[in-house]
Amino acid sequence: MTTLNVADHMHALGAQAKVASAQMAKASAAVKNTALRKLAALLRDNIAALQIDNAKDIERAIAAGLDAPMVDRLKLTPKVLETCAQGCEQLAAMPEVIGEITGLKEQPSGIRVGQMRVPLGVFGMIFESRPNVTIEAASLSIKSGNACILRGGSEAIESNKALAKLVQQALSESGLPTDAVQLVQTTDREAVGHLIAMPEFVDVIIPRGGKGLIERISRDAKVPVIKHLDGNCHTYVDDPCDIAMAVTVADNAKTQKYSPCNASESLLVARGVAAEFLPKIGAIFAAKGVEMRCSPEAKTILTQVKGANLKDATEQDWFEEYLGPIISIKVVEGLDEAIAHINHYSSHHTESILTRDHMHAQRFLREVDSSSVMVNASTRFADGFEYGLGAEIGISTDKFHARGPVGIEGLTSLKYVVLGQGEIRT
Amino acid sequence: MTTLNVADHMHALGAQAKVASAQMAKASAAVKNTALRKLAALLRDNIAALQIDNAKDIERAIAAGLDAPMVDRLKLTPKVLETCAQGCEQLAAMPEVIGEITGLKEQPSGIRVGQMRVPLGVFGMIFESRPNVTIEAASLSIKSGNACILRGGSEAIESNKALAKLVQQALSESGLPTDAVQLVQTTDREAVGHLIAMPEFVDVIIPRGGKGLIERISRDAKVPVIKHLDGNCHTYVDDPCDIAMAVTVADNAKTQKYSPCNASESLLVARGVAAEFLPKIGAIFAAKGVEMRCSPEAKTILTQVKGANLKDATEQDWFEEYLGPIISIKVVEGLDEAIAHINHYSSHHTESILTRDHMHAQRFLREVDSSSVMVNASTRFADGFEYGLGAEIGISTDKFHARGPVGIEGLTSLKYVVLGQGEIRT
């Protein structure tokens, strides 16, 4: 496409989404849920056809020399599609949030004032590789009564187009506007620049991808961005704590999976339990090949662990999100130092205290300034599904609007409703 | 101050506010309420002293040739100060919102997940003329556990400095950090540029003032802005409606006060009641000297009104916020056209339907995309105090984060809390 065409295409998508959003906002729960169940059925009915389109992306990816994990993430296997279908059905089964009126109270003037939950309007979603995000975003958009414009990665364009067609078929067969879910049809990078700069059509942008992409979008966007940057998550082993439990949870938080943003990257240990706790977790990390970047005190204790890969932590290590088999470890005096360390070095994503002390737990929950704060649980739980949100469009590391895993409610807003009987201001 | 000094001053304010915000976030409700009541007492004890400082601003304003209404808005009369003191006491009496945990539910994994209300952190407030905003902002900031940096208008600098000193005294005597409420000490315009571009220290900016100021700040800010632009509010007189009530409410919505943003600027009238309703409201507007800018059909009906000042409405009139004795009037077919007109021309602030039809009322509430939607009430009620918020830091015409009048909750965020007993992800 020429420059003009991309601009025209994006403008058209924006204008159409805006119109569709008004229809979606007043759509009934029954109709939206019908569309979601139709979409689930269409995904199951079209497994073979979808795999033909998906194969085009896979072939191109292999020809382009993408590595095996990247190619794997592109695949629309029957299992992936079944998971997508089930996700749609789960959303359909969830209670309706749009139109709910809360807090309706009579005021001294006689008017009754409450708040109604309404859709945000139009969101733009920018994502990379995994084509099933098309279905996740589309289904959340339908359930929340929004319209959306989806911009997937160029490597998955054929798969995304095929999936988006099924979404539009489900919308159309349910009496909803097909423009409620639109896929950007060009892989031209310029399209993103337009999508994030149409405040007249788009209410919010949700980018999912690498930190570089998200920083670039946040900097250039002319509308609000629900953004997820680093996940430098901490596990703090308190004194007193159940050492066996602490070992199990700290191990899980780091090693159950290295790549997710909610994996713990830093382990803080209270001095009072360090001599008992560190050799135990150190032996597990050594056995799993996890490199330990230690404060001097932690290193002194961990040298007794056979086969431990120990390094001295630099100042930068306390900020680092490794997303791999590396962890930074520090011995701290106790709760105060742990909270101060976390609030200074953390990316404000997810932190967990492992403790038996109720007062410490309460203070940790209140004073740690992160989107998820946990007591005696693995940081790996920070996830929309685990939190019972039904689905997750992303995780916000901002405080404004939505914080933490973003589900249906994060795509909504509250407007005031006032019910009177002819009251006037005097 | 030289350029360097303004930058240094603002950087220092930001860094100090950030430190103070952590202390405010963990301050107990009792301590915050003590500070608010101390502030109320200090305002009452210092009426004479405050008026001496206020007189300096008044003299300067008169010497500069400011008009009488502008000078009036600067005045810290005993009555204004008493209202400020009462506002602080009312906030102190309100329930605590910080630390509240809602929705704590057990998930299939065994963890319990809920959300805790926490302060946003640091907000910057930019306002013009009325110095009592210093107390309104400071008291809301204290109650909500935030820290704030206040930038008042240069015309009120002496009054603002005197008020800010009392706020800091109240904080200090209650054991709270004085940096929790800081006033920008320079009137240099450059200070605003720094305040809105310190994402490392400031979480949100709240501008209050003319549309030009707010547009400039929104464009240049590097942090989120809670903004209030136009108030092109509509009153729609439906068919069927109680004509006498509709006349009273429509009159109040327009003429009770012309300058507020929640005054109605546009009157839509269903065709079925236009012949009966319009001459009645037209006579009142004519008597009060309100100019009527009419659609052709409205004008035809209103020509029978003696002394009516009728003009033909232009396309631009439907967008206009007059803030004066002018109103645009249109006859519409009915509810559908009214909703379509409002959603197209409104600034999404406040709209009211005057009706007896329950289905119409329900549809209006659901389908009109504005921050406040009303049934049978004057648009003039769109206000934090009237809504029972206790206080209002501003009104948001955005959908993101806060929408409509912004009180304590608009200055807070929700973080996830997870309570476990050693659960791990499998």
What are the DSSP calls for B104-134, one per residue? Answer: EEE-TTS-EEEEEEEE--EEEEEE-S-THHH
Out of B107, B204, B373, closest to residue A417 by CB: B373
- Indicate the DSSP class of residue B155: G
DSSP-derived 3-state class of residue B32? helix
Q: How many CB pairs under 8 A join A and B?
A: 219
Q: Does the structure show a pLDDT above 90 at A70?
A: no
Based on the fold, state whether residues A175 and A129 are members of the same structural domain. yes
What is the structure's pLDDT at A256?
97
Compute the nearest-CA separation of B338 from chain A (Å).
Answer: 15
Whole-number Å distance between alpha carbons of B202 and B14 = 7
Report the CATH number at residue A304. Answer: 3.40.309.10
The answer to whether the CB atoms of B424 and A249 lie below 8 A apart is yes
Contact A29, A98 (CB under 8 A): yes
What is the structure's pLDDT at B344?
95
Alpha helices, DSSP H, located in A64-155: 68-74, 78-93, 132-143
Which token pair is B137?
């902002």
Going by C-alpha positions, the residue among B396, B404, B364 that lies closest to residue B268 is B364
Cα-based distances in Å from A3 to A29, A195, A200, A210, A293: 40, 14, 21, 26, 49
B371 interaction partners in chain A (CB closer than 8 Å):
415-416
Whole-number Å distance between alpha carbons of A118 and A126 = 23
Whole-number Å distance between alpha carbons of A129 and A76 = 11
What is the structure's pLDDT at A2?
52
Based on the fold, state whether residues A102 and A211 are members of the same structural domain. yes
What is the structure's pLDDT at A1?
47
What is the structure's pLDDT at A390?
79
Based on the fold, state whether residues B100 and B66 are members of the same structural domain. yes
Question: Does any domain span residue A397?
Answer: no
Going by C-alpha positions, the residue among B227, B176, B226 that lies closest to residue B203 is B226
Question: Does any domain span residue B348?
Answer: yes
Out of A373, A375, A414, closest to residue B403 by CB: A414
Question: Does any domain span residue A425?
Answer: no
Q: Hey, of A255, A264, A400, A401, which one would you mutate to test binding to chain B, going by the most B CBs within 10 A of its CB? A: A400
Q: For chain A, what is the largest distance between any 2 Cα atoms, rounded to a whole number of angstroms?
A: 80
* H or E stretch covering B44: helix B29-45
The angle subtended at Cα A211 by Cα A207 and Cα A212, nearest 5°, is 95
The answer to whether the CB atoms of A388 and B248 lie below 8 A apart is no
What is the structure's pLDDT at B4?
62
Average pLDDT over residues A132-158: 96
A403 interaction partners in chain B (CB closer than 8 Å):
413-416
Based on the fold, state whether residues B121 and B238 are members of the same structural domain. no
Question: Does any domain span residue A337?
Answer: yes
Residue B114's Cβ-count burial label (10 Å; 0-12, 13-18, 19+) is middle
Question: Does any domain span residue A23?
Answer: yes
Which token pair is A15?
């204008």
The answer to whether the CB atoms of A387 and B413 lie below 8 A apart is no
Question: Does any domain span residue B399?
Answer: no
Of the CA atoms within 13 Å of residue A20, those in its CB half-sphere come to: 27
Based on the fold, state whether residues A172 and A278 are members of the same structural domain. no
In SS3 terms, B268-322 reads as EEEHHHHHHHHHHHHHHHHHCCCEEEECHHHHHHHCCCCCCCEEECCHHHHHCCC
Q: Hey, of A254, A425, A426, which one would you mutate to test binding to chain B, going by the most B CBs within 10 A of its CB? A: A425
Based on the fold, state whether residues A291 and A336 are members of the same structural domain. yes
Whole-number Å distance between alpha carbons of A25 and A142 = 10
Cβ-proximal residues to A404 (8 Å cutoff; 6+ apart), any chain: A371, A372, A382, A387, A395, A396, B415, B416
Based on the fold, state whether residues A198 and A266 are members of the same structural domain. no
Question: Does any domain span residue A396?
Answer: no
What is the structure's pLDDT at B95?
94
**Which residues constitute the domain of residue B186?**
3-226+405-418
Compute the nearest-CA separation of A383 from chain B (Å).
Answer: 11
Contact B333, B364 (CB under 8 A): no
Q: Does the structure show a pLDDT above 80 at A3?
A: no
Based on the fold, state whether residues B146 and B276 are members of the same structural domain. no
Compute the nearest-CA separation of A210 from chain B (Å).
Answer: 21
Whole-number Å distance between alpha carbons of A302 and B379 = 68
Contact B99, B116 (CB under 8 A): yes
Question: Does any domain span residue A21?
Answer: yes
Report the CATH number at residue B106. Answer: 3.40.605.10
Whole-number Å distance between alpha carbons of A10 and A1 = 12
Q: How many domains does chain A have?
A: 2
Residue A209's Cβ-count burial label (10 Å; 0-12, 13-18, 19+) is middle
Whole-number Å distance between alpha carbons of A115 and A132 = 34
Average pLDDT over residues A268-296: 98
Cα-based distances in Å from A416 to A350, B165, B396: 33, 36, 11
The answer to whether the CB atoms of B120 and A400 lie below 8 A apart is yes
Out of A248, A416, A419, closest to residue B404 by CB: A416
Going by C-alpha positions, the residue among B237, B261, B259, B232 that lies closest to residue B249 is B237
ipTM metric? 0.92
Which token pair is B33?
């309420």
Based on the fold, state whether residues A295 and A158 are members of the same structural domain. no
Based on the fold, state whether residues B290 and B245 are members of the same structural domain. yes
Contact A141, A409 (CB under 8 A): no
Based on the fold, state whether residues A151 and A237 are members of the same structural domain. no
Residue B243's Cβ-count burial label (10 Å; 0-12, 13-18, 19+) is middle
Based on the fold, state whether residues A85 and A213 are members of the same structural domain. yes
Which token pair is A193?
């620049």
A365 interaction partners in chain B (CB closer than 8 Å):
116, 417
Going by C-alpha positions, the residue among B33, B136, B171 that lies closest to residue B89 is B33
Instruction: List chain B pLDDT tens, one digit each, 426 residues.
Output: 455 689 999 999 999 999 999 999 999 999 999 999 999 999 999 999 999 999 999 999 999 999 988 899 899 999 999 999 999 999 999 999 999 999 999 999 999 999 999 999 999 999 987 899 999 999 999 999 999 999 999 999 999 999 999 999 999 999 999 999 999 999 898 999 999 999 999 999 999 888 888 889 988 998 899 988 788 999 999 999 999 999 999 999 999 999 899 999 999 999 999 999 999 999 999 999 999 999 999 999 999 999 999 999 999 999 999 999 999 999 999 999 999 999 999 999 999 999 999 999 999 999 999 999 999 999 999 999 899 887 888 889 888 888 999 999 999 999 999 999 999 999
Compute the nearest-CA separation of A98 from chain B (Å).
Answer: 9
